[in-house]
Amino acid sequence: MSDLAARFVDLAERERVFWLDGGGSRTWSGRRSLLGALGDEDVSLTYDATAREVRRHTGTHDEVVGDDVFAVLAEEVARDAGDPRVGWAGYLGYACRPDLPATPSATVPDAVWMRVRDPVFVDHPIGPQAPARTPTAATGPVPDDYAAAFAEVQRQLRLGNSYEVNLTYREQLESVVDPVTAYLRLRAASPAPYAGFLRHRGVHLLSSSPERYATVDREGWLETRPIKGTTPRGASTEQDQEHRTALATDPKFRAENLMVVDLLRNDLSMVCEAGTVSVPSLMAVESYASVHQLVSTVRGRLRPGVGTVEALRALFPAGSMTGAPKRRTMEVVEAVEGSPRGVYAGAFGWIGADGRADLGVVIRSLVATATDTGWRYELGTGGGITVRSDLAEEWAETRWKAERLRSVLQVT
């Protein structure tokens, strides 16, 4: 075990702790980890979207301080404005905007944020990542509930109520493997730019996400990097290149990506200066340990007076996890998906008191809570559906996307 992993294991015994893990980072995301643990008197926030309550926690005391997690978080960040030693780490679940249609989580807080003073920074050396083939996933017949949801999505697409729908589902997995062990396995098997671990009073988030939700830099530049289009790595060099080429040229993948880029250009235009919103990279193929991804970059400069948290709200939830147009497509999602998304499809990362922020989209992730016999893990998976989508192909994609997550929970 590395010194960093050992340090994490020690910290993970605390009730409120996080690791924003830079070990699987790319040049564009930096190669630095942030670790932190809260003391008894440090502040954290949780949000219950069903009750519309934001609670502020210190030690054993907690109190309701508002009904909008974005507004409360913005106020808390502003209290330390300009202090580079203070930051907030946490997640926003899919149902954090009550003005948009989304069922709140039934099991864990819809948001968790922790105020951290003087977090630990660890720089990671640059090292090549060898491709790791995607574990074979037994797809089996398409379940009736997924087939029915897919059929209704197709009907809505043909009615013109959406151009693309990100159709997802959750599965519950029981395991005796604890979250710390599972996370160390996950970071070894699937290194990613937005890997990370969070524990807050019995709730654990384990992330191996490759997708940037948003960054805000010191000059107020807002950037998002949506992923739409995914293929597994090939079993040989030749097959791997074939998969890359297919991803870059397939009309369905390109249409999915372009629709989300247009949605995000609109989202950014609501908070950015006119004329600054641009797409510096369109449909680039990025390769990871188990998948190739089709990635675009959209950026713009925030208007004077627009704060970081306000900007994050304008983009929420990520367009790649809804489809287009956002509100109407979220209504379709709400009607066809059989369970709340919870933390899945939200955002996870940090917000600095100096106005900077860096968050990833919560995909390729697990949420864990304790049971009498071990641990219950929730896993979300899915993909973008257009009129060109095939039912069996889409179901198979959801299975191999999630296989590496399932594999880390197996007893060895």
Among 44, 54, 206, smallest CA distance to 117 is for 44
Say how far apart CA 355 and CA 357 lie, in whole Å.
Answer: 7
Cα end-to-end span (Å), the chain: 17
> Torsion angle, CA of 131/137/139/144, rounded to 10 degrees?
-100
SS (H, E, C) the chain: CCHHHHHHHHHCCCCEEEEEEHHHCCHHHCCEEEEEECCCCCEEEEEECCCCEEEEEECCEEEEEECCHHHHHHHHHHHCCCCCCEEEEEEECCCCCCCCCCCCCCCCCCEEEEEEECCEEEECCCCCCCCCCCCCCCCCCCCHHHHHHHHHHHHHHHHCCCCEEEEEEEEEEEECCCHHHHHHHHHHHCCCCEEEEEEECCEEEEEEECCEEEEECCCCEEEEECEEEEEECCCCHHHHHHHHHHHHHCHHHHHHHHHHHHHHHHHHHCCECCCCCEEEEEEEEEECCCEEEEEEEEEEEECCCCCHHHHHHHHCCCHHHCEECHHHHHHHHHHHCCCCCCCCCCEEEEEECCCCEEEEECCCEEEEEECCCCEEEEEEEEEEECCCCCHHHHHHHHHHHHHHHHHCCCCC
Could you list the active site residues? Answer: 211, 228
CA distances from 211 to 9, 159, 226, 308 (A): 26, 31, 7, 19
Cβ(204)–Cβ(107) below 8 Å = no
Q: Which amino acid is at 15?
A: E
